[in-house]
């Protein structure tokens, strides 16, 4: 790095991954005048996505303030929605038409529910894409006297939402629809607990079904039948922002930025990609979007950037999964411990102890960011691959 000019690192997206990058970078470089870190995000509060099913049932959750977290780190916060990335000019345009310049860009725009692949979902279904979307569903649910809430998608988000809605709204019938069975990839002990919890809460599970259309008052299935619905929540599949593809970055078939082992775009090495928006290959395959994987990618990108700026080779990112905690309302949960490739182990936690575990995991990111501010190595407390990895100084 030329020490007479300031190197501009621009991080797009203050999610679990992007914030990990910003705090790690800023904490390690705050005394250096030759590197500036800027974070752009549409809101100045951090969205705990892991709690959006709670927001959707009217529960108050914390709204941690991002500029307050950055205070004292030297990193700048810009409130805005990115509308375009120009990799030639090395600029990012935001919705008020401002252009933000970068030397190194970190792409951490996350993912949202895939509302585009089934007709009517965009127009008639609710999502858990943002606190605002979740609050719209909460408002709708409180105004229903009875009727059926259909949840499209029986993955982990669908399961958590179904349990939460059934627990908070016993006056409503909750129907969970999916191609596969809920918890199909779990150990039979974990799946049995999950099935029993959904049954206890009165959730009607229908597996092996394909939703082909969502209408204002029902969902239509591939077998020609339909289910009346006072509200539909869509949690099936995810999609990412089209900005990466539009900018000419190499993306995979789902639009995620394809990275090398140091988390740099394979087509544009001055762009790093982290979290759900990145297609990161490991020995077992391409990582799928989780907060447990997203946060370490953010920290690793920061370390890669610093090593490259110091003229060193960045280290390869290594990650293995270690657990799948799933809430089943406020007092129950199931925690499936996993092998690094995400396959289930025999170890399973259920009931109140699991609920406490899940809450601890959900609450952990923000205090960890705050600790990382003072002690960058606190990022190493996020386990990679079932082991605790030591994050060394990148200087
Ligand atoms: C209800 C629910 C429960 C979940 N539970 C779990 C769980 O228990 N465990 C787990 O590991 N994962 C869970 N997940 C998945 C997890 O939330 C994601 O994998 C994680 O949030 C990904 O982190 P990220 O930083 O990549 O993206 P995000 O956390 O989504 O952050 C992306 C950020 O980018 C911003 N952004 C997007 N587009 C733009 C733009 N154009 N311009 C500027 N900013 C933009 C967004 O506003 C956001 O702040 C859950 C998800 C949901 C919805």
Q: Can you give the residue range of the structural domain that contains 205?
A: 121-234
255 and 302 in one domain? yes
Atom of ligand 1 lying closest to residue 52 CA: 1
229 and 173 in one domain? yes
Q: Cβ(81) to ligand 1 under 6 A?
A: yes
Minimal-distance CA residue to ligand 1 atom 41: 82
Which pLDDT score is estimated for 386? 39
Ligand 1 mean position, distance from CA 312 (Å): 31
**Residue 382: which pLDDT band, with cuts at 50, 70 and 90?**
low
On the question of pLDDT at 380 being above 70, the answer is: no
372 and 267 in one domain? yes
Q: What is the mean pLDDT of the chain?
A: 93
Domain boundary among 215, 234, 253: 234
Atom of ligand 1 lying closest to residue 20 CA: 25
Q: Cβ(294) to ligand 1 under 6 A?
A: yes
Q: Cβ(19) to ligand 1 under 6 A?
A: no
Which of 116-125, 164-173, 314-323, 374-383 has the lowest average pLDDT? 374-383
Instruction: Assign residue 11 the CATH number of its domain.
Output: 3.50.50.60
Domain boundary among 181, 214, 234: 234
| Contacts for 379-385: CB closer than 8 Å, 24+ residues apart | 379/20, 379/23, 379/24, 379/295, 379/296, 379/299, 380/299, 382/292, 382/295, 382/296, 382/299, 383/322, 384/296, 384/318, 384/319, 384/320, 385/318, 385/319, 385/320, 385/322, 385/340
Q: Cβ(52) to ligand 1 under 6 A?
A: yes
Nearest to 218 by CA among 142, 116, 150: 150
285 and 175 in one domain? no
**Residue 34: which pLDDT band, with cuts at 50, 70 and 90?**
confident
388 and 248 in one domain? yes
97 and 43 in one domain? yes
Region 9-13: mean pLDDT is 98
283 and 166 in one domain? no
The count of domains in the chain is 2
191 and 135 in one domain? yes
Q: Which of 108, 110, 132, 243 is the pocket-test mutation for ligand 1 (most atoms within 8 Å of CB)?
A: 110
Ligand 1 mean position, distance from CA 244 (Å): 17
Q: Cβ(177) to ligand 1 under 6 A?
A: no
302 and 159 in one domain? no
Q: Cβ(46) to ligand 1 under 6 A?
A: no
Is 340 a domain residue?
no
Look up the pTM and report it: 0.93
Q: Tell me: the pLDDT tens digits for 317-364?
A: 999 999 999 999 999 999 999 999 999 999 999 999 999 999 999 999
Q: Which of 126, 276, 280 is the pocket-test mutation for ligand 1 (most atoms within 8 Å of CB)?
A: 276
275 and 134 in one domain? no
């Amino acid at each position: 790095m030329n020490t007479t000019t300031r190197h501009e690192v621009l991080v797009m997206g203050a999610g679990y991954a992007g914030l990990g990058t910003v705090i790690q970078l800023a904490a390690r470089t705050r005394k250096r005048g030759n590197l500036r870190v800027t974070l752009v995000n549409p809101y100045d509060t951090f969205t705990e996505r892991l709690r959006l099913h709670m927001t959707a049932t009217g529960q108050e959750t914390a709204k941690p303030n991002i500029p307050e977290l950055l205070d004292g780190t030297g990193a700048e916060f810009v409130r805005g929605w990115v509308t375009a990335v120009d990799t030639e000019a090395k600029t990012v345009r935001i919705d008020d038409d401002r252009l933000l310049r970068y030397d190194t860009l970190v792409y951490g725009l996350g993912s949202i529910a895939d509302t585009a692949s089934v007709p009517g979902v965009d127009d008639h279904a609710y999502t858990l894409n943002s606190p605002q979307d979740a609050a719209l569903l909460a408002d709708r649910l409180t105004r229903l006297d009875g009727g059926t809430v259909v949840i499209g998608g029986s993955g982990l988000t669908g399961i958590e939402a179904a349990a939460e809605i059934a627990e908070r709204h016993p006056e409503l019938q909750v129907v969970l629809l999916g191609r596969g069975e809920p918890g199909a990839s779990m150990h039979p002990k974990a799946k049995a607990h999950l099935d029993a919890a959904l049954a206890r809460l009165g959730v009607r599970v229908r597996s092996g079904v394909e939703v082909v259309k969502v209408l204002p008052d029902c969902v239509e299935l591939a077998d020609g039948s339909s289910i009346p619905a006072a509200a539909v929540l869509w949690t099936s599949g995810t999609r990412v922002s089209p900005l990466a593809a539009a900018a000419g970055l190499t993306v995979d078939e789902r639009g995620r930025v394809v990275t090398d082992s140091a988390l740099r775009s394979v087509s544009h090495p001055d762009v790093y990609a982290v979290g759900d928006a990145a297609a990161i290959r490991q020995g077992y395959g391409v990582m799928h979007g989780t907060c447990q994987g997203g946060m370490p990618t953010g920290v690793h990108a920061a370390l890669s950037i610093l090593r490259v700026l110091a003229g060193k080779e960045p280290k390869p990112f290594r990650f293995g999964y270690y657990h799948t905690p799933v809430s089943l309302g406020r007092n129950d949960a199931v925690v499936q411990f996993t092998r690094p490739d995400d396959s289930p182990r025999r170890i399973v936690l259920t009931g109140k102890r699991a609920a406490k575990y899940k809450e601890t995991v959900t609450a952990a990111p923000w205090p960890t960011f705050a600790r990382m501010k003072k002690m960058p190595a606190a990022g190493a407390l996020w386990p990679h691959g079932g082991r605790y990895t030591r994050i060394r100084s990148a200087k």
